[in-house]
Amino acid sequence: MHDIKRLNLEEQILDENDHIAEHINEHMSMHGVLVVNEMGAPGVGKTTSIKNIISRLKEVEPKVHPYVIEGDIESDIDTKHLSELGIDAYQINTFGACHLDAPLIDHQLDHMHMDLNLAEGQRGILFIENIGNLVCPAEFSIGEHVKLLISTVTEGSDKPYKYPLAFEKADIILLSKTDLIPYLDFDEDFYMKGVRALNKDVPVIKVSDKTGEGYKEVAEWLAKKAMALEPHEHAAIHEHLHQHEHGHDHHHEH
């Protein structure tokens, strides 16, 4: 009996999360903003990767404006650093929770000063750095268009086998810290065999924070996804109809 109640509660939580995530995805799509859910274990360099991607975005597609939501259990160290670099960055602290969820993102969007009235032909990319974890973040949609997984050679080549869900759901994988491969016992063939068993067509791009290798390719891939969005001309009207239909009240700043 207890197991049935627990299962029903979990289903309700996931259903409500998915409903809000769908709303976020539609809302951001209508404004031409690509939402990227960046996942990875603690210490893989998620914030550094965001900085490297954003710096290349300016080169490959200046019409794309970046925003960042930093998810951490505690502190706002990375958000402060990003803000000092002139990047629009906002903080979410979970105070113990091992992942971000759609209600947290929805609440944050209500209190962010994002200018979603982008000029004709412009697009945005909202990078959401999830909590450092290879399990829970993969289970919860947060309204993303893209799940970006960072995996490093320092973690070992067995991670696709040990944490299959994250690799299975990833839309793009960054294999990071590749400049260290000569100094590590990293079996790239074994790693890629594990990835392909789970996710046949996912692009896997080798990147290095030290040399900058691969980040231009990542920026180009994301920029192409962002520019492919087709915002509705009357986003506010669609938003109002969506709210009325679902009875879920949101007041995002436009």
H-helix or E-strand containing 47? helix 46-60
Nearby residues of 10 by Cβ (< 8 Å), 6 or more positions away: none
In whole angstroms, give the CA distance from residue 100 to residue 129. Answer: 9
Q: Is residue 250 over pLDDT 70?
A: no
Is-contact 61 119, C-beta < 8 A? no
> Could you tell me what percent of the chain has a pLDDT over 90?
81
> Could you tell me what percent of the chain has a pLDDT over 70?
86
Selection from 235, 146, 15, 36 nearest residue 243 by Cα:
235
In whole angstroms, give the CA distance from residue 175 to residue 153. Answer: 7
pLDDT of residue 3: 65
Helix (H, G, I), strand (E, B) or coil at 127: strand
pLDDT of residue 169: 98
DSSP 183: G
Domain boundary assignment for the chain = 16-230
H-helix or E-strand containing 175? strand 172-176
Nearby residues of 33 by Cβ (< 8 Å), 6 or more positions away: 67, 114, 116, 118, 123, 124, 125, 126, 226, 229
Q: Which residue has the tokens 């029903």?
A: 8
pLDDT in tens, 66-89: 999 999 999 999 999 999 999 999
Confidence band for 253, pLDDT divided at 50, 70 and 90: very low
Lateral strand order in the sheet of 123-129: 88-93, 64-72, 123-129, 33-39, 146-152, 172-176, 204-206
On whether the 16-230 domain is CATH 2.60.40.1120, my answer is no
Count of helix runs (H) and strand runs (E) in the chain: 9, 7
Average the pLDDT over 35-45 and give the result: 96
pLDDT in tens, 227-248: 999 986 545 545 544 554 445 4
In whole angstroms, give the CA distance from residue 239 to residue 245. Answer: 10
Cα Dmax for the chain: 58
Confidence band for 215, pLDDT divided at 50, 70 and 90: very high
Average the pLDDT over 52-67 and give the result: 96
Is-contact 195 166, C-beta < 8 A? no
Of 46-50, 228-232, 250-254, the poorest mean pLDDT is in: 250-254
DSSP 178: G
pLDDT in tens, 128-151: 999 999 999 999 999 999 999 999
